[in-house]
Amino acid sequence: MMNSPSRKPSAEPAIGLDSFWMPFTANRQFKGRPRMLQSAEGMFYTDTEGRQVLDGTAGLWCCNAGHGRREIAEAVSRQICQMDFAPTFQMGHPLPFELAERLVDIAPPGLNRVFFTNSGSEAVDTALKIALAYHRARGEGSRRLLIGRELAYHGVGFGGISVGGIANNRRAYTTLPNVDHLPHTLDIERNAFTRGLPVDGVEQADHLERLINLHGAENIAAVIVEPLSGSAGVILPPVGYLQRLREITRRHGIVLIFDEVITGFGRVGAPFAAQRWEVVPDMLTAAKGLTNGAVPMGAVLLHSALQDALMSGPEQQIEFFHGYTYSGHPVAAAAALATLEIYRSEQLLTRAAELEEHWQTLLHSLAGLPNVVDIRNTGLVGAVHLASRENSPGSRGYEVFERCFREGLLVRCTGDIIALSPPLIIEPSHMDRIIDTLGSVIQRTP
């Protein structure tokens, strides 16, 4: 599994590129010079030109157990043959019930109910709806305001972009009216090159008190944050920050949601970031690593008190008017169960904690290279923050990303930030290769 596969180059695909409108992609630029992946195994992709590409990003923060896991493929194939689809509206089948129990087994204490979705975006919108419905059911219907954070990414649903704080994801659309934002916690001046969580910045959480003063606690339904922001370029929570958000939200009866779509399933050295940083929210969202990326699936894990509040009407009444045709899809659930079994048997949910120090040392060896203004890390996450070129923000980051790919390494760029989140099966030799390639490319990218 750990060995790089050797495959013969295949012929150029004889397919047109125009019809597929690619998501979050500069379509014209990409189609002028495509990067096409064709197969994957262990830590490596192979592209359509036969190039081996070391996966420094677990796909898109998804494939925590590495690629090509037969156990998942077989579980999926068995399940499709046995039962391809079954509805979960007023009907059931055993797999999502079993999966919900397995998730509760590894969840932070008290989060013992699970609602299934198909993606992180849907999990976020579902969690926001649960928060609103919960308050209403308890006679606190004035709590309609949702608080997110600047630079946050919570997917692309209207709920997610509203509480999200990435301007480009909101600008062309419309957003929910009842929303406000906390400040982000990126502070390069004070915290550049910190190893692990930054020590300065806990007071950023106190802005929540100001928003509560402004809007009134009786009008606020929920606060949603990513324990660490991935999409904005790996922004870490200062030491004590999440605890303080927890204290304030608890004091004011506000639901606290952690969006763990990327931090879930071992990324920071524990099943969820909530456990690593010892702060239990009222709800958390998950996706990506839930099925090792093999089949789309998302979930909301929540405290039973939230569900209980909705269980007071007549028994024949639907308690929560929400759900997706594919909530608890049998094939996705089979993939997730097989994935959780791999995580358990290979102890992958805590492996990042063991590898963290070595990873950190290697990453920080890139300090001092041209244009590197910050390096951030926690668990098996890393970011190398490059200075932006005058009048051309993002161009340096894109060039580094593109050159790394041509030299056999997949990284992710967000503007001029290079983000790394390799599969949790990574070995030290892969880490060396990531750092060597990235360092050499940065050195050669003026």
Q: Which stretch binds ligand PLP (CB under 6 A): 29-37, 104-112, 255-263, 371-379?
A: 255-263
Stretch that binds ligand PLP, among 141-149, 153-161, 209-217, 239-247 (CB under 6 A): 153-161
- Between 96 and 165, CB nearer to ligand PLP: 165
The SS3 call for residue 51 is coil
Among 56, 66, 155, 281, binds ligand PLP (CB under 6 A): 155
Reduced to 3 states (helix: H, G, I; strand: E, B; else coil), residue 118 is coil
Q: Does 273 bind ligand PLP (CB under 6 A)?
A: no
Which of 262, 273, 301, 386 forms a contact with ligand PLP (CB under 6 A)? 262
119 counts as binding ligand PLP under rule CB under 6 A: yes
Angle between helices 330-345 and 70-82 in degrees, nearest 10: 150
Instruction: Name the burial class of residue 15, with classes exposed (0-12), middle (13-18) and buried (19+) by CB atoms within 10 angstroms of its CB.
Output: exposed
Residue 413 in contact with ligand PLP, rule: CB under 6 A: no
Encoded tokens for 8: 């013969």
Q: Could you give the 3-state DSSP secondary structure of residue 303?
A: strand
Rounded Cα distance between 431 and 161, Å, is 34
Q: Is the dihedral of CA 97, 101, 106, 107 positive or negative?
A: positive
What whole-number distance in Å separates Cα of residue 120 and Cα of residue 177?
22
Task: Tell me the residue ranges of DSSP E strands in 77-212.
Answer: 111-117, 145-149, 179-182
Residue 125, interface with ligand PLP (CB under 6 A)?
Answer: no
**Least separation, in Å, of the C-beta of 168 and ligand PLP?**
14
Is 121 a binding residue for ligand PLP by CB under 6 A? The answer is yes
Q: For 64-215, where are the E strands, in sequence order?
A: 111-117, 145-149, 179-182
Beta bridge partners of 385: 374, 417
Stretch of 89-97, 114-122, 130-138, 305-313 lying at the interface with ligand PLP (CB under 6 A): 114-122
Q: Which stretch binds ligand PLP (CB under 6 A): 27-35, 147-155, 309-317, 359-367?
A: 147-155
**Of these, 76, 95, 99, 124, which contacts ligand PLP (CB under 6 A)?**
124
* Per-position b or e across 195-230, b if 16+ CB within 10 A of its CB: eebbeebbebbebbeebbeeeebeebbbbbbbbbbb
- Joined tokens for residue 60: 């898109």
Smallest separation, CB 124 to ligand PLP (Å): 5
SS3 for 373? strand
Q: Contact with ligand PLP (CB under 6 A): which of 41, 259, 399, 416?
A: 259
**In this structure, are residues 375 and 383 in contact, taking their beta carbons and an 8 Å threshold?**
yes
Give residue 183's identity as a one-letter amino acid code: P
CB of 128: closest distance to ligand PLP in angstroms?
12
- Nearest one of 302, 328, 264 to 99, comparing CA atoms: 328
Between residue 277 and residue 316, which ones bind ligand PLP under the rule CB under 6 A?
287
Nearer to ligand PLP, 57 or 79 (CB): 57
Verify binding: residue 417, ligand PLP, rule CB under 6 A: no
Count interface residues toward ligand PLP (CB under 6 A).
Answer: 14
Q: How many CB atoms lie within 10 A of CB 150?
A: 17
Range in contact with ligand PLP (rule: CB under 6 A) among 259-267, 317-325, 381-389, 422-430: 259-267
Site string for ligand PLP, 231-250 (x = CB under 6 A): x-------------------
Closest separation between CB of residue 164 and ligand PLP, Å? 8
Q: In whole angstroms, what separates CA 84 from the centre of its chain?
A: 28
Q: Which of 148, 198, 230, 233 binds ligand PLP (CB under 6 A)?
A: 230
Residue 226 as a binder of ligand PLP (CB under 6 A): the answer is yes
Which one of 10-18, 152-160, 169-177, 424-432 is the stretch in contact with ligand PLP (CB under 6 A)? 152-160
Interface contacts to ligand PLP, rule CB under 6 A: 119-121, 124, 153-155, 226, 230-231, 259, 261-262, 287
